[in-house]
Chains A and B, each alone.
Chain A
Amino acid sequence: MQDTHPLVDAGASDPNFLRGDITVWSWNIAAKSLAKLVPEFNRRYPHVRVNVEMTGADMQTRFLLSLSAGVGGPDISQLQMAETPKYIATGRMTDLTPVAAKYERMFPASLWRNCVHNGKVYAIPWDMGPCAVYYKSEMFHRYGVDPNRIETWDDYIAAGRVILRKSGGRTKMLPLSNRFLAPMYEILLQQNGGRIFDEQGRIALDSPQGNQVLGVLKRLLESGICSNVAVWSHEFLAGLKSDTIATYPIAVWFGGTIKDTVQEFPGQQTAWRVFPLPALEGGGLRTSNLGGSTLVIPDSCRQKQAAWAFIEYALCTVEGQIAQYKSFDLFPAFLPALEDPYFDQPDPFFGGQKVGRLFAADVARIPPLNRTSDWMEATRYLEQALTTWATSGMNTTGFLANLERKLHRRVGRPIATAAVTDAGGP
């Protein structure tokens, strides 16, 4: 009953002969963006019907349950980038290597890493979230801070201190809640090649890179320039229009929210610009990645060839990727798409800055992170540990080592440092 044939590289075969009726599970604007692609897709493959379902509640739970039951799942499913390894590890995703291996070089290594397992490809990167700093240029001008001088996080912190002082304590440099430190940790970690799991899947938190990241976090929090508001909270969004927050170091997908929100909230319009993410040290990497999604074909899909045709169009062609960027701001993961002149267009909202090109810079240089199937759990524990750490003195000595031991007990993976002495575990 199932299509057990491995995927064949369509190459020379006639697209007119490919038939299928595929269902795609996706959420939110990602789903809308896929739906918008369907007419163009059908121009190439006229006999493949695509049905994009915005399945709403609990999509991921129901997807997993379907995998378990072997019935009721979609032909294509969206997955969060960071969760992809977990799903791949279930062994229920179609092996895409025969048709997708050739695209490896066309995606940033850091994204591709999440899609492979044991040398085979099971998912394709869809979009990504390169990071930079959105800032209020007027405010910087007023307080005499030159964004071009900010190259490292320490420069950033110094600038933040200046702004804090000159505004009489009113303006904080960035929103960073000590209850949600994990995303920032993840951003910083990718800038210096740090890891949570090493290439063999062992726990590798406690490293020089990890400690460097922790140090930056500590300096950020201790300098008093952080506004303790949770992401997406009311204050967080209100900060876009008030003078309480000066910058937002975050991924590119936040730009859309800025543009929408400044209409909504009362207050003065302010001029926005972007500068590249500060590096951890002079000359270091000035970008990172947060978020993004992938697409997979569950093994239970009976129309793998048709499903692959759609994925290939949406994710592995410049046309498909640019269309999604233009319509819904989904930042392409496909490197050839980033070379499109569209990225050099000045953005009037940001004062004519070529924001696309800024975000696209250096994405290929982001070091790959081995997320493993335990990533979500690990980050959950990391976040809790960081919260406790931030609210009880920020003692960095042994913090990462302790967390390693805790994770070891929790997920059962060995720790990468030599001579693991365990107090009580298996």
Chain B
Amino acid sequence: MRKTLRIRRRVVRSALYLMLGAFAVVFLFPFYWLTVSAFKSQGEIFQIPPQWVPQSLRWDNFIAIYRETHLVRAFFNSAVIAVGHVTLALFLCSLAGYAFAKYPRAPGAGKLFAFVLGTMMIPGAVTLIPTFVILTRLGLTNSYWAMIVPGAASAFGIFWMRQYIAAHVPGDLLLAARIDGCGEFGIYWRVVLPIARPALAALGIMLLIGSWNNLMWAFIVLRTKDMQTLPLVIYLLQGETRTPFGMLMAGGLLATLPLVIGFLLFQRQFITGITAGAVKA
């Protein structure tokens, strides 16, 4: 009796691993194909039967993309914009979040916060046009500001920070800091921020990924080659008649790699960050 149970269990477990493994292969396959295609020539990419493993590792595509496109500049742009956006957003949201968390009796605080939360109901799609118009009127299109500033005052961000700070920063600590003569901003900077680090990391990663991967807004506001970000450059590589797929794959791989590496290193923070809003709700 027990033996059949054990065998049955083993079969079930093996089947499960098999299923998970198969799906994992399917899910990871596009990444594999991306990597492999980056090393193939145009002809090899379209070869039938397909080259599952590239016959030879060609670096031509990478060289071509370095020489013929402004990918390096795009990397730089993406990085500046991502860092700028995340820094600005984290600063604004944590400062305001702390204020809402630890000054609950300030007149109007409750109403203001509820109001901000209310706007979360309205999807961002509604604000695209006006934001574009504002930026155009201010002459800020085609600049880093156009990518950094919109979205930095995130309603979700302030909610997230406030909730974490309220839960993890004890009032006594603040009291002690005040007694020690720490200025209000000093309290924020030296006491609250370190405690809020996990929340900052999670939110920061979420914003980072969003900024790095953003295509639509970049397409709308960035107008000259020297300002384009990575996703935009890759998208525009698609020509009308002949798309240099080899270069495209190489560029795509380079654009994806930082995120993949970051993810593998900081898996837990990534997951917390991206599912941040959801998990708590």
Q: Please give the distance in Å from A67's CB to the nearest CB on chain B.
A: 10
Please determine whether B240 and A71 come into contact, CB atoms closer than 8 angstroms. no
Please determine whether A57 and B220 come into contact, CB atoms closer than 8 angstroms. no
State whether the Cβ of A65 lies closer than 8 Å to any Cβ in chain B.
Answer: yes
Please determine whether B141 and A71 come into contact, CB atoms closer than 8 angstroms. yes
Please determine whether A54 and B221 come into contact, CB atoms closer than 8 angstroms. no
Please determine whether A54 and B142 come into contact, CB atoms closer than 8 angstroms. no
Please determine whether B236 and A69 come into contact, CB atoms closer than 8 angstroms. no
State whether the Cβ of A148 lies closer than 8 Å to any Cβ in chain B.
Answer: no
Q: Please give the distance in Å from B245's CB to the nearest CB on chain A.
A: 14
Please determine whether A69 and B238 come into contact, CB atoms closer than 8 angstroms. no
Provide the bound-state CA to CA distance between A56 and B136, in Å: 25
State whether the Cβ of A263 lies closer than 8 Å to any Cβ in chain B.
Answer: no
State whether the Cβ of B239 lies closer than 8 Å to any Cβ in chain A.
Answer: yes
Q: Of B223, B236, B239, which is within 8 A of A71 by CB?
A: B223
Q: Please give the distance in Å from B128's CB to the nearest CB on chain A.
A: 12
State whether the Cβ of A66 lies closer than 8 Å to any Cβ in chain B.
Answer: yes
Please determine whether B223 and A72 come into contact, CB atoms closer than 8 angstroms. yes
Please determine whether B239 and A69 come into contact, CB atoms closer than 8 angstroms. no
Provide the bound-state CA to CA distance between A120 and B221, in Å: 31
Please determine whether A69 and B141 come into contact, CB atoms closer than 8 angstroms. yes
Enumerate B137-187 residues with CB–CB distance to A below 8 Å. Answer: 139, 141-142
State whether the Cβ of A27 lies closer than 8 Å to any Cβ in chain B.
Answer: yes
Q: What is the interface residue range for chain B against chain A?
A: 10 to 19
State whether the Cβ of A68 lies closer than 8 Å to any Cβ in chain B.
Answer: yes
Q: Of A57, A68, A73, which is within 8 A of B238 by CB?
A: A57
State whether the Cβ of A28 lies closer than 8 Å to any Cβ in chain B.
Answer: yes
Q: Which of A27, A68, A73 is the most central at the interface, judged by chain B CB atoms within 10 Å of its CB?
A: A68
Q: Of B136, B224, B239, which is within 8 A of A68 by CB?
A: B136
Provide the bound-state CA to CA distance between A369 and B26, in Å: 56
B220 and chain A: residue at smallest CB distance: A65
Please determine whether A56 and B236 come into contact, CB atoms closer than 8 angstroms. yes
The residues of A that contact B223 with a CB separation of less than 8 Å are: 62, 65-66, 69, 71-73
B238 and chain A: residue at smallest CB distance: A57
Provide the bound-state CA to CA distance between A62 and B139, in Å: 17
The residues of A that contact B224 with a CB separation of less than 8 Å are: 71-72
State whether the Cβ of B241 lies closer than 8 Å to any Cβ in chain A.
Answer: yes
Q: Which of B139, B238, B241 is the most central at the interface, judged by chain A CB atoms within 10 Å of its CB?
A: B241
Provide the bound-state CA to CA distance between A28 and B141, in Å: 29
Enumerate B107-160 residues with CB–CB distance to A below 8 Å. Answer: 132, 136, 139, 141-142
Provide the bound-state CA to CA distance between A52 and B103, in Å: 61
State whether the Cβ of B235 lies closer than 8 Å to any Cβ in chain A.
Answer: yes
How many interface contacts (CB-CB < 8 Å) are there between A and B?
Answer: 41
Question: In the complex where A72-B142, A72-B223 touch, is A54 in contact with B136 (Cβ < 8 A)?
Answer: no
In the complex, per-residue mask of B223-264: 1 if CB is within 8 Å of any chain A CB, else 0: 110000000000110111100000000000000000000000
Provide the bound-state CA to CA distance between A151 and B61, in Å: 58
B140 and chain A: residue at smallest CB distance: A69
Please determine whether B240 and A69 come into contact, CB atoms closer than 8 angstroms. no
A69 and chain B: residue at smallest CB distance: B141
The residues of A that contact B241 with a CB separation of less than 8 Å are: 28, 54
Say whether chain A's binding surface is mostly helix, strand, loop, or mixed.
loop
In the complex, per-residue mask of A43-84: 1 if CB is within 8 Å of any chain B CB, else 0: 000000000001111100010011011111100000000000
The residues of A that contact B142 with a CB separation of less than 8 Å are: 69, 71-72
Q: Please give the distance in Å from B124's CB to the nearest CB on chain A.
A: 19
Please determine whether A57 and B136 come into contact, CB atoms closer than 8 angstroms. no
The residues of B that contact A54 with a CB separation of less than 8 Å are: 239-241
A66 and chain B: residue at smallest CB distance: B223
Please determine whether A56 and B141 come into contact, CB atoms closer than 8 angstroms. no
B225 and chain A: residue at smallest CB distance: A72
Q: Which of A27, A66, A71 is the most central at the interface, judged by chain B CB atoms within 10 Å of its CB?
A: A71
Q: Please give the distance in Å from A416's CB to the nearest CB on chain B.
A: 32
Q: Please give the distance in Å from B135's CB to the nearest CB on chain A.
A: 8
Q: Please give the distance in Å from A370's CB to the nearest CB on chain B.
A: 29
Please determine whether B240 and A57 come into contact, CB atoms closer than 8 angstroms. yes
Q: Please give the distance in Å from B276's CB to the nearest CB on chain A.
A: 33
Provide the bound-state CA to CA distance between A55 and B236, in Å: 8
Provide the bound-state CA to CA distance between A54 and B244, in Å: 14
Provide the bound-state CA to CA distance between A71 and B143, in Å: 11
Provide the bound-state CA to CA distance between A66 and B142, in Å: 9
Q: Please give the distance in Å from A174's CB to the nearest CB on chain B.
A: 29
The residues of A that contact B236 with a CB separation of less than 8 Å are: 56-57
Provide the bound-state CA to CA distance between A43 and B219, in Å: 38
Provide the bound-state CA to CA distance between A54 and B237, in Å: 11
Provide the bound-state CA to CA distance between A56 and B141, in Å: 22
The residues of B that contact A73 with a CB separation of less than 8 Å are: 223
Please determine whether A28 and B221 come into contact, CB atoms closer than 8 angstroms. no
A32 and chain B: residue at smallest CB distance: B241
Q: Please give the distance in Å from B76's CB to the nearest CB on chain A.
A: 18
The residues of A that contact B220 with a CB separation of less than 8 Å are: 65
Q: Please give the distance in Å from B222's CB to the nearest CB on chain A.
A: 8
Provide the bound-state CA to CA distance between A27 and B220, in Å: 21
Please determine whether B240 and A28 come into contact, CB atoms closer than 8 angstroms. yes
The residues of A that contact B132 with a CB separation of less than 8 Å are: 68
B146 and chain A: residue at smallest CB distance: A69
A59 and chain B: residue at smallest CB distance: B240
Q: Please give the distance in Å from B60's CB to the nearest CB on chain A.
A: 21
Provide the bound-state CA to CA distance between A412 and B238, in Å: 37
Q: Please give the distance in Å from B219's CB to the nearest CB on chain A.
A: 8
Q: Which of B142, B223, B235 is the most central at the interface, judged by chain A CB atoms within 10 Å of its CB?
A: B223
Q: Please give the distance in Å from B197's CB to the nearest CB on chain A.
A: 39
Provide the bound-state CA to CA distance between A288 and B239, in Å: 32
Q: Please give the distance in Å from A22's CB to the nearest CB on chain B.
A: 16
B221 and chain A: residue at smallest CB distance: A69
Please determine whether B221 and A56 come into contact, CB atoms closer than 8 angstroms. no
A57 and chain B: residue at smallest CB distance: B238
Q: Which of A54, A57, A70, A73 is the most central at the interface, judged by chain B CB atoms within 10 Å of its CB?
A: A57
Provide the bound-state CA to CA distance between A70 and B224, in Å: 11
Q: Which residues in B have some Cβ–Cβ distance to A below 8 Å?
A: 132, 136, 139, 141-142, 219-221, 223-224, 235-236, 238-241
What are 12 A-B contacts with C-beta separation under 8 Å? A27-B240, A28-B240, A54-B239, A55-B240, A57-B235, A62-B219, A68-B132, A69-B141, A69-B142, A70-B141, A71-B223, A72-B224
Taking A27-B240, A57-B236, A57-B239 as known contacts, 8 extra A-B pairs with beta carbons closer than 8 A to each other, sorted by chain A number, are A56-B238, A56-B240, A57-B235, A62-B219, A66-B223, A68-B136, A70-B141, A71-B223
Q: What 3 pairs across the A-B complex have the smallest Cβ distances? A: A72-B223, A69-B141, A56-B239
